[in-house]
Every structure is written in C-alpha cells, then in structure tokens.
Structure 1
Amino acid sequence: MAAPLQLQSLERLGDSFAGEHSVERKRMLVIVNPYATTVSDRLKNLVVYALQGRYDVQAVDTQRRDHATELCREAAQEGIDVVVAFGGDGTLNEAANGLAGSSVPLTTLPGGATNVYCKMLGIPGDIVDATEHLLRLADRWEPRRVDLAKANDRWFTFSSGVGLDASVVHRVDLHPRMKTRLGAYYFTYAGITTFLKDYVLGPPRLEAVLADGTTFPGVTSIVQNGDPFTYFKNHPIKLVEGQTLDSGSLSGIVLQRSTPTVMPGVMFRLFSERARITGHRAVSGFEEVPTVTIRSADERPLPLQVDGDYIGHVDEVAYSLAPGGLTVVA
C-alpha cells in the first residue's frame, strides 16, 4: 500500500494542478484493479483528483478477470482519448487485449508488484512521480505505435513463458496475499519450491520450433517482445539482447534441462551484470524471429503465462507478432 507520505504528496500534486488547463482536455479512462498490490481506495481517489487537473477523467474498477479488456473495447468504440491501466502487468495486459489494433493510446500507472511494462515505457515506478509524469504528458502529447506479440489467441506486451517460469507464476497467483506482502521475495520462494517439486526429476518436456524449422528441446522457454524479461525489485533481469518494443520481431531462450547441477549457474547469470544467460551450456537462444511454436514433447500439457499472468495449460503455443499493433503514450 502507499505510504502516508506518498498520499500527502499526491494530494499536494492535485492541488498544484487544480487550476491549470491544457489546450485540450482529453477524455481519460482510468481502469483500476482494486486488488493490485499497492492500490487502495484512498490512493485511487487522490490519483484521480490529481489527473483531473489536466484531463476529463473517468475511473472504473475492474470486477472480474478480463473485465479490463471489455472496458477497453468499449472505450475504443466510444473514442476515448487515452486509457490508463492502474494496476500491475496483468491489468495492463488485459487493457492491451482490448485496445489491440485501435488508435486509442494506452498508458499505465504502477500499482502492481513489479510493473515491468510501466518501466519499459519510461514511466517512473513511484506513484507520485508517475502521476506527475502523466500530467506533464498533456502538454507534449506524442502517441506512438509499438509491437504486440501473441500467444495463441492472447496478446501480450513484453514477455511470455512456458514451463518452469509459468509454473512459478501459477503458484504465486494462488497466494495473492503473500505476493502482496513479500513481493519479489515470494517469487523467489515460489521459484525454489516449484523447481524442487516439479522440475528436478521428470519435468515436462517441450520443443521450440522456429519458422525455418530449427528446433530446440528443453523444459522451459521464454519468448520476449521487449527487454528486460522482468525485474527483481529494481534490478533488470535480462535474457535476450537488443529486443525492443518496436523491433518487429521476437527473441527468446530455451532452458534445455533443469538439474540441480545446472540451475546454480543459470541463476548466477540471471543476476550477473556481465555474464549472459545464453552463454550457459544448458541454454539456447534465438533472436529476431517472426514466429515460434512451443509444443509438448511428452504429451503432458505445459503451463503458460503472458505478462506475468498464468492463463492455463496447453499442448502447444503458437507465437506471432503484430508490428505496431498497440498505440501507447508515455
């Protein structure tokens, strides 16, 4: 939850912008996930109050899974000028699925545990600074197009995982209170326990097949539309090199095996400033591909996550890309 000092700063920020008017007051829809890690009713009200200094603001709480997608589709039809996803990466993912292919720009405020896409767009991770950032945008309105990736029929903004990564996300999603209380440390705990339980002996096997037929066998694959893969607190976790939100291609890795002798070296490279994970003998990498298909190699369904949200088990995932498929403003 927001600290008292942050709440006071937001209130002062709202007062400072209350009498100001931009040339054109854009209609803004703020989609709020009331269950996100740092979101509260008071915080939401203060954020909306501050944003009203420059925008015609309407705020709506999400009520169920995929509700943000429905709200964004309606917003696109009604010609809303900008949509703000106020929550975590899951809320933003749902919003992106509703705005895919439209000209209505999407932006975000940090309300989750990690807020990866928020940071990728260059929006501050502190809610006060991020709110002020959006207020300043009214005077330098420059929407741009970025790529959207797709996993089967689900759009994602920056990353998707099949295997161990998705299993960890699934475990974390089952304990939202622990996720809120412990944040990155609970992800670490979930990663260790999931690895020991499901991936030391007989983990599900998969194959990653590129468009040219190149095949990488393994137990986990990550496909990225941006960089970094995620953050541990404010430390970026990098898996691929040179991947940007408008590169027009996908990149990723395949972890070939997850034995106890392999994983310490992999984890070291994840957090290293210099050593790249693709330099590990048990990791294969692929860059600048238009498509990739991940399929089960042993007839066991594979866990799938997109933008940090578990969405189910599948036999196969077909990844593709829509260059310029999403309009953003940041």
Structure 2
Amino acid sequence: MRALLVVNPRATTTTERSRDVLVRALESAVDLTVRYTQRRGHATTLARAAAESGIDVLVTLGGDGTVNEAVNGLMTAPAGLPGEPAYRLPALAVVPGGSTNVFARALGLPRDWADATSVILDGLRDGRHRVINLGRADDRYFTFTAGLGLDAAVVRRVEQARLRGRTSTPGLYLRAAVGQFFTGVDRSDPPMALERPDEATAAGLGTVIVQNTAPWTYLGDRPVDPNPDASFDLGLDVFALRRLKVSATAKTVTQLAWRSGDQHGKQVLRLHDLAEFTVVSSRPQAFQLDGDYLGERQKVHFVSVPSALRVVC
C-alpha cells in the first residue's frame, strides 16, 4: 500500500521528534513518502499530484486548514476511474496537529496525535474506512463548516492576531468575537439572504453558519453545536441570526456555549439536511471555510456532495 504523508511543519502541537516517531510508525504499515508544505495552498498541489500518481492513502499532519487544502487537492484531481469520488480517489487519514482539529475530532479520533496515529494504523491494517459527504462552496470543498458574516470576520481577526505572533486559544477567539461584534458589525441592517429552490427566501440575515457535521467547533474540550443533528451522512445544516441585537445575540451565544442546539426565537434560523442553497448579500461579507479566512464574498452557492471521500478512522 502506497501512502503520502503531507506535513505542515508549522503544526502547533507536534515537534520534529514527534514527526519522526509518526513517520516510523507509518512506515511499519505502508510504503511511505513524506512531503512538507512550504506555503499556503501547497497541500492542495501535493494532494492532487498524489491522487494523479495513484497512491492508496493520503495522510495529513496539521490542523483543519491543512486537511481542507488536501481534500481540495483530492477532489479536483482528474478522474482516473469511473464512479463516486470516494472509490476512485485515495483514502484520507488525518493525524491531528493543529490547535483545534475539529474535523479529526468529529470523526471520533483522539485529540492526541500519538493516540490518533494508533487508530489510523489499526484502520490501515484492517482496511477500515468511512465514506462521508462533503460540502462545496462555489468551487471549493469543505469538510465541517463554512461561514459568512460575523463568524468569518472573527476568523479573520484571529488570523491577523496569529500573524502578529499570538497563539490560537479559546480566549483569543472569545476576545476576537467580542471585538468584532461591538466594533465591526452593522447590527441594524443585516445584509444577507438565503435562497433555496422552490422555497421562500429568508432575508435579513446578519451571519450564516453552515455545518457539514456536528459539532461546529470546540472551545477547549467543550463542543459548540448550533446544529447537533448535522452529519457527515446527510446534507448541509444552516444556523443563521437575523438582526444582531446585543441582548438577543448575547443570549444566543450563551446558549451556544452551554446548551448546544437549544437556540430559539424569531432571530434564529435553523435549516436541516439541505442539498443546495445560495447566500447572497447586498454588500461584501467575510467568508471562511473550515476555519480559514478566504476574503469577502457577496454571493456563495452551497452544495452537499454525497459519498465524496473515504476516511480512515
């Protein structure tokens, strides 16, 4: 079995020594090649080339951004065989190496990279995998979440802070969220609308969160889960807020942090198991996929992609 290990050398929870241990462990189970990413987007190039070369398994060591890039490389590789992508493309194995690792944890993998590696090795030896759906936003795939508006603007603030040398922590996200809400949001004129085929348009939305699985994210060990019924086996779920009034938004955020799925009220829109929809905005909105900020958009078309990927877990 041939495998490529794509390593983000800036992964926050691993060291050179631990990476050496991982390589030796994988070499005991597969014919392994190791490549290191050198810039943003490099994992996409490496994954696409690996799929074209006919490898059996792509292993990533990094955070959710590395996983997202690798998945996009796999999904945009030329089709070598007919049939669903999950069975014509290499399987994906994810070793958690980032600060949050939402995708790996949503798959049920341990947070610790060494424990997760043991699970992956057992899966490789037993031929065990899971087929999951993916989301697609225009021409880019995502594994667990996408967002427009407030949540994406928070991601942007966190990325800017990390470029200044800050460490990604739950506290950093909380401070970014508070700062963005009180200084960077026009709460009186929500600009977005959600359009679905043969359904009434939901207008006046201030932020839109899309989930391909549950939870949406984690604060430390605590899952944050606006749509607890979201699943890798179903379509996309949506959680959106209308007017971002201080009192109503504070109540909703508190419910999110302590009682996932318990948000309600006329300011909350929740939709389950959607095959496709479009979010449009009267002005540019911050946009994120899998926790990576991707600039601003005024229109994004979302699609659920069934049986898209095999994952070793």
TM-score where L is the length of structure 1: 0.86
Deviating runs (4+, > 6 A) in structure 1? Answer: none
Letter of the aligned partner of 2:179 in structure 1?
T
Is it true that 1:285 corresponds to 2:270 in the alignment?
A: yes
Corresponding residue for 1:294? 279
Work out the CA distance in 2 between the residues paired with 1:214 and 1:111: 42
Counterpart in the other structure of 1:73: 48
Amino acid at match of 1:229: W
Which residue does 2:233 correspond to in 1? 246
Q: In the TM superposition, what are the counterparts of 1:34-183 in structure 2 within 5 Å?
A: 34-100=9-75, 101=85, 102-176=88-162, 181-183=167-169
Residues 292-325 of structure 1, C-alpha deviation per residue, up to 9 Å, x if partnerless?
11111x3x11111011111110110000121011
Task: Work out whether residues 266 and 280 of structure 1, in 8 Å CA contact, stay in contact via their aligned partners in 2.
Answer: no
Structure 1 residue 242, shift from structure 2 partner: 1.9
Do 2:217 and 2:223's aligned partners in 1 also have CA atoms closer than 8 Å? yes
| Partner residue, 2:214 | 227
8 Å contact from structure 1 (residues 145, 328) kept in 2: yes
Task: Report the alpha carbon displacement of residue 177 of structure 1 after superposing the two structures with TM.
Answer: 5.8
Gaps of at least 5 residues in structure 1 are 1-25
Alignment partners' CA distance in 1, 2:189 and 2:215: 26
Note the alpha carbon deviations across 1:61-108, whole angstroms, 9 max, x for none.
Answer: 111121111111111111111111111111000111111234210110
Say how many residue pairs are matched.
301
- Take 2:11 and 2:165, find their aligned partners in 1: how far apart are those partners? 10
8 Å CA contact 2:146–2:288 kept in 1: the answer is yes
Residues 307 and 271 of structure 1: CA distance in aligned 2, closer, same or farther (over 3 Å): same
Paired residue secondary structure (1:319): strand
2:216 and 2:14 map into 1 onto residues whose CA distance is: 24
Structure 2 unmatched ranges of 5 or more? 76-84
Indicate the larger mover: 198-207 or 166-175.
198-207
Give the equivalent residue in structure 1 for 2:205: 218
Kept after mapping to 1: 8 A contact 2:278/2:302: yes
Contact 1:204–1:302 (8 Å) recurs in 2: no
What secondary structure is seen at the aligned counterpart in 2 of 1:207?
strand
The CA deviation at 1:257 is: 1.6
Match of residue 194 from structure 1: 180
Confirm or deny: 8 A CA contact 2:225 2:260 kept in the other structure. Answer: no
CA shift in 2, pair 1:200/1:215, >3 Å: same
What's the offset of the Cα at 1:131? 1.6
For 2:150 and 2:196, the matched residues in 1 are separated by 20
2: distance between equivalents of 1:143 and 1:285? 31
**Which deviates more from structure 2 when the two are superposed, residues 115-124 or residues 212-221?**
212-221
- Report the CA distance between 1:176 and its aligned residue: 2.0
- Give the match for residue 208 of structure 1: 194
1:22 maps to what in 2? none
TM-score, normalization by structure 2: 0.91
Give the C-alpha shift of residue 43 in structure 1: 2.3
The sequence identity of aligned pairs, in percent, is: 36
